[in-house]
Amino acid sequence: MILEKKKIEEHNAVLLEQHQRKFNFFKQECDTVESLVSKLQRFQIAIPSWALGTGGTRFGRFSGKGEPATLEQKIEDVGLLHALNKSSGAISLHIPWDIPQHVEKIKELAASLDLQFDAVNSNTFQDQKGQKHSYKYGSLQDVNPAVRKQAIDHNVSVIQHGVTLGSKALTIWLADGSSFPGQLNFREAFQNTLASLQEIYKNLPPDWKMFVEYKAFEPNFYSTTIADWGQSLLLASKLGPQAYTLVDLGHHLPNSNIEQIVSLLLMEGKLGGFHFNDSKYADDDLTAGSIKPYQLFLIFNELVEGMDHNGMDHATALGWMIDASHNLKDPLLDLLQSVEAIMIAYAQALLVDRAALKRAQLTNDVVQAQEILQHAFRTDVRAVVAEARLRNHAALDPVKLYQELEIRNLLITERGENSIATGL
């Protein structure tokens, strides 16, 4: 299903007057509004192919309806999102769930929807049918060289799929770890992982990046072999200049100060990208900004500060991706809500008066530093985010338009009730 431009124009026409009143009010209070809008217009957040279906927990999965059953349908779903918000102009594929059969047709489809192919993701945390060796006890870390070889080969083949599509990065998330004390020799698990990553790294095209993701726990419950930013940075440093750390918001121990980690990784030139989501207890994969919106803002505050300090382009220097599992909501609506929350946090971070903040910091004026950050966060920036969409010919209110057009029902009609996406 393709969203007609006319639908968006009609929707915008109805909301325009109200929008302009709000945007004009915002403009009065903010003299950098044009720069802000143009940065927001350029900012794109990749949608992972696995987030288009309904996820589940180990206790059960309550499927949604009209899910995309093929790669083409997944790309169409992202096309729908991008048409609605013009901020989701990329898709991140997951191999083997999304192996393209007809590469050229797939590329044409994506191009027709104005979509890029973002980082490709390998999967060595599940066994696939017909797979020779099991990943039950690990993949790149495994004590058995044949298991490691199989996992390395898989990653190399993922790179090759990515090259045909025009991706420029490989994201490696490993479930590797242990569930019981004694199961693993931590040092050897780390060294096996490093040696395996080095093999994969050799196969990286020169203009590619490798993102090394970390996670505190789950699915292993005693140790994870790449458990925190320190371990990921150690690996990325040993691997070479194309290797970077990827931060997933849900992959931390309770109370972690993620914004500080972000700042230090930028300082080291080793932040590669982001997986956005939110969580209250563990790796819950909830909608970005749904639980801790201030933390999301503080992270963007560090991103903007650090990227500007490094002279990096906000829109392109890092990989921006959503990684969430939608168990209860329509995945497309959930993704619209995530993107909106991310754009709001980014806009608020852009509003921070950096010169004044620097002055407050240099005089240890803690009260003033807080006032400056809270002022930006308390400002209602929705109108400026909407204005960026308007100028990009997207919908002023994507969630509302999605609901008014009853897009899910149209997808169910098109695909059937029991269409199920591959993924978790």
Query: Binders of a second copy among 39-68, rule CB under 8 A?
Result: 55-60, 62
Region of 101-109, 114-122, 157-165, 300-308 interacting with a second copy (CB under 8 A): 300-308
Displacement of CA 211 from its chain's centroid (Å): 12
| Binding span for a second copy by CB under 8 A among 106-114, 195-203, 259-267, 387-395 | 259-267
CB of 347 to a second copy, least distance (A): 11
Helix axis angle, 293-310 relative to 258-267, nearest 10°? 10
Size of the site for a second copy (CB under 8 A): 111
- Smallest gap from Cβ 203 to a second copy, in A, equals 25
CB of 102 to a second copy, least distance (A): 29
Residue with token string 């020169």? 206
Stretch of 6-14, 108-116, 178-186, 195-203 lying at the interface with a second copy (CB under 8 A): 178-186
Amino acid, res. 138? G
User: Does position 342 bind a second copy by CB under 8 A?
Assistant: no
What's the min distance (Å) between Cβ of 367 and a second copy? 5
Under the binding rule (CB under 8 A), the answer on residue 337 touching a second copy is yes
Q: Which of 35, 191, 316, 409 binds a second copy (CB under 8 A)?
A: 191
β-pairing, 319-322 vs 243-248, is unpaired
Determine the 3-state secondary structure of 194 from DSSP: helix
Bridge partners (DSSP) listed for residue 248: 275
57 bridge partner residues: 60
Nearest approach in angstroms of CB 89 to a second copy is 23
Nearby residues of 301 by Cβ (< 8 Å), 6 or more positions away: 259, 349, 352, 373, 376
DSSP string, 197-266: HHHHHHTS-TT-EEEEE--SSSSSSSEETT-SHHHHHHHHHHH-TTEEEEEETTSS-TT--HHHHHHHHH
Which one among 67, 176, 213, 259 touches a second copy, defined by CB under 8 A? 259
Look at residues 301, 293, 289 and name the one whose alpha carbon lies nearest to residue 370: 301
Joined together, the tokens standing for residue 162 give: 């990515």
- In the bound state with a second copy, the residue whose beta carbon lies nearer, of 242 and 368, is 368
Distance CA 411, CA 137 (A): 40
Q: Which residue in 15, 109, 291, 317 binds a second copy (CB under 8 A)?
A: 291
Tokens linked to 236? 């990325």
State residue 140 phi and psi, 5-degree precision. Answer: -70, -15
User: Quick check: 197 and 172 in contact, CB under 8 A?
Assistant: yes
| Of residues 330, 327, 325, the one with CA closest to residue 409 | 330
Instruction: Determine if 151 is a binding residue for a second copy (CB under 8 A).
Output: no
Q: Tell me if 196 contacts a second copy by CB under 8 A.
A: no
Q: How many CA atoms lie within 13 A of 398 on its CB side?
A: 30
Q: How far is the CB of 98 from a second copy (least distance, A)?
A: 17
The correct pick among 8, 71, 373, 407 for binding a second copy (CB under 8 A) is: 373
For residue 187, state whether it binds a second copy (rule: CB under 8 A).
Answer: yes
Contact residue for a second copy among 112, 160, 361, 409 (CB under 8 A): 361
Per-residue mark of binding to a second copy, 68-107 (x: CB under 8 A): ----------------------------------------
Cβ atoms of 52 and 77 closer than 8 Å: yes
Name the residue nearer to a second copy (CB basis): 113 or 330: 330
333 contributes a contact to a second copy by CB under 8 A: yes
Per CB under 8 A, which region of 31-39, 107-115, 149-157, 287-295 contacts a second copy? 287-295
For position 149 contacting a second copy by CB under 8 A, the verdict is no
Query: Per-residue contact track with a second copy, 109 to 138, x per CB under 8 A?
Result: ----------------xxx------xxxx-
Instruction: Report 390-409 residues binding a second copy (CB under 8 A).
Output: 399
Shortest distance in whole angstroms from residue 30 CB to a second copy: 12
Residue 274 CB, nearest approach to a second copy (Å): 17
Alpha helix (H) ranges present in 122-216? Answer: 145-165, 186-202
Residue pair 356/372 in contact by the 8 Å Cβ criterion: yes
The residues in 205-224 that bind a second copy, with binding defined as CB under 8 A, are 216-219, 221-223
Distance CA 298, CA 300 (A): 5
Smallest distance from a second copy to CB 157, Å: 19
End-to-end CA distance of the chain: 24
